Amino acid sequence: MAEARNLDQPLWSPSAEQVAAANITTFREQINAQLGLELQDFAQLHEWSVAQPEHFWRSLWDYGGVIGTPGNVVLEEREKMPGARWFPEARLNFAENLLRRRDAEDALVFWGEDHVKQRMTHAELYREVAHLAAALRDMGVVQGDRVAAYMPNMPQTIIAMLATTSIGAIFTSASPDFGTQGVLDRFGQTEPKVLITVDGYYYAGKHVDIRDKVAEVAAGLPSLKRVVVAPYLTAHPDISTIQHARVWGDVVSPFAHVTEITFERLPFDHPLYVMYSSGTTGVPKCIVHCAGGALLQHLKEHKLHSDVRPGDRVFYFTTCGWMMWNWLVSGLAADATLLLYDGSPFVGEGDILFDFADAEKMTHFGTSAKFIDHLGKLGRRPMDTHNLSTVRAMMSTGSPLVIEGFEYVYDAIKKDLCLSSISGGTDILSCFVLGNPVLPVWRGEIQCKGLGMAVEIYDDDGKPIRGEKGELVCTKPFPVMPIGFWNDPDGEKYHAAYFDRFDNVWCHGDFCEETDHGGFIIHGRSDATLNPGGVRIGTAEIYRQVEKLDEVLESLVIGQDWDHDVRVVLFVKLREGLSLDDALVDKIKKTIRANTTPRHVPAKVVEVQDIPRTRSGKIVELAVRNVVHGRPVKNVEALANPEALDQYRARTELDG
């Protein structure tokens, strides 16, 4: 682990030259010049962006070079959540903004583990989108229709999204590791007209054929008119068992002569994506996001908070079932090259993503907190084995990045980079709190609030607090709020999801704390918060202590109803060859007690062989809590490893 450091000093601070060169500095200076302001730093810029949302978001439209017409009105019903309307007179097309370049520089670079490598220029990407868009129109796809992708993170998926949205149709996706029922639980609600998929994918060196699953999915979606299969495992897959199926090449070849795309310019709030909640407590919610909101918010997060510049090479390890894929592809609007990877991140003993970084001169390395933690557990030191000279930003999300994870990055990966822990979610297709290239990085802290986001921490009475744990809320409207849920015509489900707790305030469901530095620490999901003796404890506070122990690979903590109260139960997955004995239980409890409070100490510590998680890698505390209490888990199809839940049933250790 990292050498001892002065806890009163940040792990990293930008140099004066880095601050001066950052996009966010240029943006602030432009605002000052255009509006006669004297905003001196990020804190003042953020305060202004929240107080003057019309000026901020209109200025961002210009700074981001949005293609379209903004109209004369930026915000109507500015005090209503939900109900505010952004740019009600605007007309734009999402795909047109991502396909602004048609040159010979790389647009996409794809690695499918160590089996497949592919490169596509901006001109080639435009041409491929033109062909598929024409094919979709020929199939009868029109504005408002849904096109679904059951795809890996590969160039054809991006082509499919851009072709769909160029028409004004709505794109929705799931990754090919989803089981049949999980796909039907999602696409069955949104009723796509076209399904785009593959014959299979690679994972950990294995060839995984999904044609049988695709056949079942196609048979279960009566809305489908066409299934388009992109060859991936083989050049000429047999798709005869799949209803309505044709191979990608046969679908687009009649339109090879098409060289221009007809972009349908539509209202700002025209539906763009349908995203899905994790679905671990029931059938997934279908969250509808609009084109203008996604575009503006992602331009802000890429160009200002992530400092993405023309020619940068941006990577995020993600699947097409996670909103970080949607976030990543918007990098095209910031004139970046996208680095796409599909497969296991531990091919080549955990080196392949760093091999990718060096080979393709990656500038932004996006991953999960669990990946960073696992690298540390494996003792990997990419700093010693790779160059990584071009990487200037690293991003982490999926779960809170613990202090030791921060220290590991600077000790073992690279010393001079901006490590941005970021947090938001599928609900907003983006972040509430995230990174900042002009601010220091403090151990365990997310750097700042997002520009234009009126983020606060509320206590149980709805009063703002600082330096204490509470609910992460947003008190003013923002453009990337969902326009609603699918099949929720009166908005009842939408309102219940975010606005029931505090009137006219978005309550996100994160248990959070704002620090003296203006940063944020996420302590876990509010619905997974522990309440022993009536005291709220965030699960991340316990994980932070347990997972720094070398013996523990992963852990999961729940509150078990017991003796008219709640007791803390900790499940641990240990290193291979170890078993849980009294000495290790004692060590775990002493570590937690010494670094937190006695209330954090688990009443029971139980060994398991696996930790259940969603397909985007998030552990499912609520599902385990239901199993422990003998309650059903409503949607095991949402889990990557549902069989792991069996280890938590009827544990005799929890009977006394």
In a domain, 405, yes or no: yes
Residue with tokens 């998929």: 197
The fraction of the chain above a pLDDT of 90, given in percent, is: 82
Q: Which residues contact 631 (CB under 8 A, 6 or more apart)?
A: none
Identify the CATH number of the domain in which residue 459 sits: 3.40.50.12780
In this structure, the answer to whether residues 472 and 613 fall within a common structural domain is no
Report whether pLDDT(350) > 80: no
In a domain, 58, yes or no: no
Tens-place pLDDT, residues 407-457: 999 999 999 999 999 999 999 999 999 999 999 999 999 999 999 999 999
In this structure, the answer to whether residues 405 and 472 fall within a common structural domain is yes
In this structure, the answer to whether residues 551 and 504 fall within a common structural domain is no
In this structure, the answer to whether residues 536 and 430 fall within a common structural domain is no
In this structure, the answer to whether residues 407 and 462 fall within a common structural domain is yes
In this structure, the answer to whether residues 541 and 512 fall within a common structural domain is no
Tens-place pLDDT, residues 537-595: 888 889 888 988 999 999 999 999 888 788 999 999 999 999 999 999 999 999 998 88
How many CA atoms within 13 Å lie on the side-chain side of 449? Answer: 25
Integer Cα distance of 141 and 251 in angstroms: 14
Integer Cα distance of 415 and 428 in angstroms: 32
In a domain, 313, yes or no: yes
Beta strands 469-474 and 506-514: pairing type? antiparallel
Integer Cα distance of 321 and 327 in angstroms: 12
In a domain, 7, yes or no: no
In this structure, the answer to whether residues 139 and 263 fall within a common structural domain is yes
- Which pLDDT score, from 0 to 100, does residue 35 have? 95
Integer Cα distance of 544 and 534 in angstroms: 22
- Which pLDDT score, from 0 to 100, does residue 281 have? 60
Report whether pLDDT(215) > 90: yes
In a domain, 192, yes or no: yes
- Which pLDDT score, from 0 to 100, does residue 1 have? 38
In this structure, the answer to whether residues 411 and 383 fall within a common structural domain is yes
In this structure, the answer to whether residues 515 and 537 fall within a common structural domain is no
Q: Which of 335, 334, 338 is nearest to 325 (CA)?
A: 338
Q: Which domain holds residue 359?
A: 92-520
Tens-place pLDDT, residues 311-331: 999 999 999 999 999 999 999
* Number of domains the chain contains: 2
At residue 69 the predicted structure's pLDDT band, cuts being 50, 70 and 90, is very high
Backbone φ and ψ for 449, nearest 5 degrees, come out as -75, 150
In this structure, the answer to whether residues 99 and 141 fall within a common structural domain is yes
In 198-226, which positions are buried (b, 16+ CB within 10 angstroms) versus exposed (e)? Answer: bbbbbbeeeeeebbebbbbbbeebeebeb
- Which pLDDT score, from 0 to 100, does residue 279 have? 66
Q: Which of 432, 183, 165 is nearest to 321 (CA)?
A: 183
Rounded alpha-carbon distances, angstroms, from residue 323 to 88, 147, 183, 480, 638: 26, 17, 16, 13, 15
Report whether pLDDT(344) > 60: yes
* Alpha-helical regions (H) of 306-381: 323-329, 352-359, 369-378
What is the per-residue DSSP string for 260-282? ------EETT-EEEEEE---TTS
Integer Cα distance of 70 and 87 in angstroms: 6
Report whether pLDDT(220) > 50: yes
Identify the CATH number of the domain in which residue 599 sits: 3.30.300.30
As a whole number, mean pLDDT of residues 20-28 equals 98
Mean pLDDT of the chain: 94
At residue 6 the predicted structure's pLDDT band, cuts being 50, 70 and 90, is low
Tens-place pLDDT, residues 164-203: 999 999 999 999 998 898 899 999 999 999 999 999 999 9
In this structure, the answer to whether residues 538 and 514 fall within a common structural domain is no
- Which pLDDT score, from 0 to 100, does residue 443 have? 95
In a domain, 386, yes or no: yes
- Which pLDDT score, from 0 to 100, does residue 3 have? 44
Tens-place pLDDT, residues 96-155: 999 999 999 999 999 999 889 999 999 999 999 999 999 999 999 999 999 999 999 999
In a domain, 63, yes or no: no
Residue 313, beta-bridge partner list: 337
In this structure, the answer to whether residues 511 and 535 fall within a common structural domain is no
C-beta neighbour count of 100 within 10 angstroms = 14
